[in-house]
Structure 1
Amino acid sequence: MTDSQLQTTETKAEIKSRLERLETLYDLSLDIFAAKNLDDLLRVVMSRVTSALGADRSTLFIVNQDAEILWSKVAQGTEPIILPMGVGLAGMVAASGETLNIPDAYLDDRFNSEIDKKTGYHTKTILCMPVKDREGNVVAVIQAINKIGGAFSEDDEDFLRALSAQIQLAIENSTLYQGLKELFESMIEALASTIDARHPTTAGHTNRVRNYSLEIAKEMGYSPADLEILNYAA
C-alpha cells in the first residue's frame, strides 16, 4: 500500500469515527428529552460513552458541593465509590474543574492504586472530565479508563466535552421534571384536603380511598406508571 493510499484509508477511518460520534450525540439528545428516569438514562449515557471512546469502562460521579463529596452514580465493573472532594483523580477534577488526561496512571503521582490492588484490575490510561452547570459549578465528573489501543486523544477530550454538556442537560431536566412533579403532587394534596375539610365526616376520606386503591392495584400487578396515574386519579 502506497503512502497516499494509507493516508486515504486513515482519513476515511477518521471521518467514519467522527460521524459515529455525531450520531451518538444526536441519539443521546433524543434520549434526554424523552427520558423521565434519570438513573436509567445515565446508565444508557455511560454505556455510550464507553463504546464511543473505545474505553474498557467508565464511571459517572455525582458531586455534592455542600457535603464536599462525590459518589459513583454509574460505575461499570466496580462497587459504588464515595470520595471526599480533592481525593483521588475524580475528586481532584471535582475540586479544580479541570480535565485530566493521563497516558500512564502508574507514572502519575496523583493516581491512587488502592482500588486496583483490591480488585485486581490494572488501570493504564485515564480521561477524567468535569460536568458543569450553567454557572460553571461542577455537578458531576466523568471518568473513562483504559482506552483500547493507546492513550486518550484530544479528539476524545472534545467528544467527552460535548457529551458532558448533554449529561448536564439530562441532570437539569430531571431536576426540573422532579420539581414540577412535586409541585403538581402538592397541588393535588391541597385540593384533596380542601374537599375533605368541607365536612367532618369526610376528613381523610380521599387519602383512604387512594391508599386502598393503590394496594389493590399493586396486588393486581399494575405497572409503576399505571400506579402513578391511579394515585393522581384517586
Structure 2
Amino acid sequence: MNPVPDSTPAANERTPEELLRIIFDYTARIGSQRSLKSVLLLMANMGREMILADRCTVWLIDRSSGELFTTIAHGVNEIRQPLGSGFVGHSVMTGENLLIEDAYADPRFNNANDIRTGYRTKSIITVPFVGNDGSIIGAYQAINKLTPQAVFTERDLEQLKLAASYAGKSLESVMLHEEIVATQREIITTMGEIGESRSKETGNHVKRVAEYSYILAVGFGLPPEEAELLKLVSPMHDIGKVAIPDSVLNKPGKLTEEEFELMKNHAEIGYNLLKSSARELLKTAAIVAHQHHEKWNGTGYPQGLKGEEIHLYGRITAIADVFDALGSERVYKKAWELDRILSMFNEERDRHFDARLVDVLNDQLPAILEIRERYSDL
C-alpha cells in the first residue's frame, strides 16, 4: 500500500479496521523472517503505513563503535551517528518517547542528514524498542506526516508505540539469530585455518577455497544465498587434519600406502566432529568435510560414492580445493603452472570431477584468477 497525501481529515488518519489489517499483515510477515535486513524493512514500512509518515527509519545500537545506525531508511542509504546524538540518541539513552512538531526549533535536532540529502525535516516521532530484559535495543523514527502541515499528533505517537510493541520482540529474536550465525561463521573460519596450519598451509588457502566455492556455486546456478552458505562452510573441509600426526601431514616426500590410509581418515574425522550439530551451518560443513575427496567415478574416499551420490557441495569444494592445492607450493611439491592445472581438470572430466562443474570452472576462470591474485600467499 502506498499512501497518497490528501488534505481531507479522513485520508490523513487510519480507521481502526485499517490499523488492524496493517498490524496483522506486517506482524505475520515479520514473524516469518530470519533476515535482519528483511525485518527492518518490513518494520519501517509498517510504521510508515500505520501513521501515514513520509519516511520511517528503524535505528539499532552498535555498542562496539558507540554509534546508532540504520540500513533501512526511506530515501537514503546507511546512516551512522554517535550514540547520544539527535532525537533518536536522546530516546535510546533515556527511554523517552518523543513527539516533536518543529525539529529545527529543538536544540537536540541533528540536521546533518538533512544537509547531506537535501531533505527538510519538520515533525518527528521517536519510539525506543525495548528487549525482553528491559534494555533498549534501538528505536523507531517517523518523519513528516503526509499532511500539508507535515505535523504528527498524539494519536500518531500512540500508534507508533503500538507498532514498536508488536514488532520489537521479533526484531530482538532475529538479532539474536544473526548473532548466533555470526559466531558460527567466526568459529568455522578459525577452525578451518587451524586445520590448514597443521599442514603448514596459510589462512589464505581456506579464504581462496571459500571464494572459489562461491563462484562455482553461482556459476552452476545455485541461488546466491545457498552459494553464500557453501562459502561459509568450505573452510572446514580439512578440519579432520587436526587429528593426523605431523609426521604424515608434513612429510616432504611421497606418503607410503600405510601413511596415505592414515591421511585419508581426516575426511571421516571431520565429519564425526561436525555431524551431531543441529545448526544448518555446521551440518553443511559436515557434508563438505566428509565428501570433498569423493570422485565422480566412485574411486574416491571415504565412502566410494559415485556421480550424483556425492553431494553437490562436496563436488564443488573438491574442485575449489584441488585447483588451489595444485597452484600452491606445498612441502611435498612445487606449484603447478595454470595450463597444466586446466589440462588436468579437462582430462578428469567425469572421472575425478563432475564435467558440468569443470565447465563452470573454465567459464569462471577470470573471476577465479582474480581471487587467487587477491589472496596470494606472496
Q: Per the shorter chain, which TM-score range? A: 0.7 to 0.9
Determine the structure 1 residue equivalent to 2:76: 78
Residue 53 of structure 1 corresponds to which residue in structure 2? 51
- Structure 2: distance between partners of 1:137 and 1:115: 27
Cross-structure match for 1:91: 89
Partner of 1:100: 98
Structure 1 moving runs of 4+ over 6 Å: 182-189
3-state secondary structure, aligned to 1:129: strand
Match of 2:171 in 1: 171
Displacement of 1:135: 2.1
Aligned to 1:143: 141
Following superposition of structure 1 onto structure 2, how do residues 30-41 of structure 1 map, counting pairs within 5 Å? 30-41=28-39
Between 169-178 and 68-77, the greater mean CA deviation after superposition: 169-178
Distance in 1 (CA, whole Å) between partners of 2:80 and 2:154 is 29
Note closer, same or farther for the CA distance 1:228–1:166 as it changes in structure 2 (3 Å cut).
Answer: farther
- Which residue of the partner structure matches residue 157 of structure 1? 157
The verdict on how the C-alpha distance between 1:109 and 1:161 changes in structure 2, with shifts beyond 3 A counting, is same
Equivalent position of 1:25 in the other structure: 23
Over the matched positions of the two proteins, sequence identity in percent amounts to: 28
Report the Cα distance in structure 2 between the residues aligned to 1:29 and 1:165, rounded to whole angstroms.
11
Structure 2: which amino acid aligns with 1:44? L
The answer for the alignment partner of 1:4 in structure 2 is none
Whichever residue aligns with residue 217 of structure 1, its letter is A
71-80 or 136-145, which deviates more: 71-80
Q: How far did residue 80 of structure 1 move?
A: 2.7
**Matched AA of 2:164:** S
Rounded to whole Å, the distance in 2 between the matches of 1:224 and 1:30 is 25
Conserved in 2, the CA contact under 8 Å of 1:101 and 1:128?
yes
Q: Distance in 2 between matches of 1:104 and 1:134?
A: 33
Q: Is the 8 A contact 2:50 2:160 kept in 1?
A: no
User: What is the distance in 2 between the residues matched to 1:45 and 1:147?
Assistant: 17
Q: Which amino acid aligns with 1:19?
A: E
- Seen in structure 2, the aligned counterparts of structure 1 residues 229 and 89 have a Cα distance that, compared at 3 Å, is closer
Secondary structure in structure 1 of the residue aligned to 2:84: coil
Q: Unpaired segments of 5 or more residues in structure 2?
A: 1-8, 200-205, 234-283, 289-378
Q: How many residues align?
A: 211
TM-score (norm 2): 0.48
Match of 1:217 in 2: 217
TM-score by length of structure 1 reads: 0.73
Distance 1:214 1:80 in 2: 26
Q: Distance in 2 between matches of 1:168 and 1:63?
A: 14
Q: 1:36 to 1:21 in 2, by over 3 A?
A: same
Consecutive unaligned residues in structure 1, runs of 5 or more: 1-9, 201-206
Q: CA deviation at 1:59?
A: 1.5
Question: What's the counterpart of residue 268 of structure 2?
Answer: none
Q: Deviations over 1:160-203 (max 9, x none)?
A: 112112332222221343356568889999xx9xxx9xxx9xxx
Higher mean Cα deviation, 65-74 or 51-60?
A: 65-74
CA-to-aligned-CA distance 1:70-123 (integer Å, 9 cap, x gap):
112312123432221221111111211101101122222322334334433221
1:110 matches 2:111: no
Contact 2:41 / 2:72 at 8 angstroms: preserved in 1?
A: yes
SS of residue matched to 1:74 = coil
**RMSD value over aligned CA atoms?**
3.5
Q: d(CA) in 1 for partners of 2:108 and 2:39?
A: 31
2: distance between equivalents of 1:120 and 1:228? 37
CA distance in structure 2 between the aligned counterparts of 1:105 and 1:184, rounded to whole angstroms: 43
Give the structure, 1 or 2, with the largest relative contact order (CA under 8 Å, sep 6 or more): 1
Q: Is the 8 A contact 1:64 1:139 kept in 2?
A: no
In structure 2, do the counterparts of structure 1 residues 118 and 33 end up closer, same or farther at CA, with 3 Å as the change threshold? closer
**Deviation by residue 1:127-181 (Cα, 9 ceiling, x = unmatched):** 1111111222111111111101242222222221121123322222213433565
Change (3 A) 1:73 1:170: farther
Q: Which has the higher strand share?
A: 1
Q: Which has more radius of gyration?
A: 2
Tell me which amino acid in the other structure corresponds to 2:68: L
Distance change (3 Å), C-alpha of 1:218 and 1:75:
same
- Matches of 1:37 and 1:100, distance apart in 2: 29
Structure 1's 188 and 115: CA in aligned 2 closer, same or farther, altered over 3 A?
A: closer
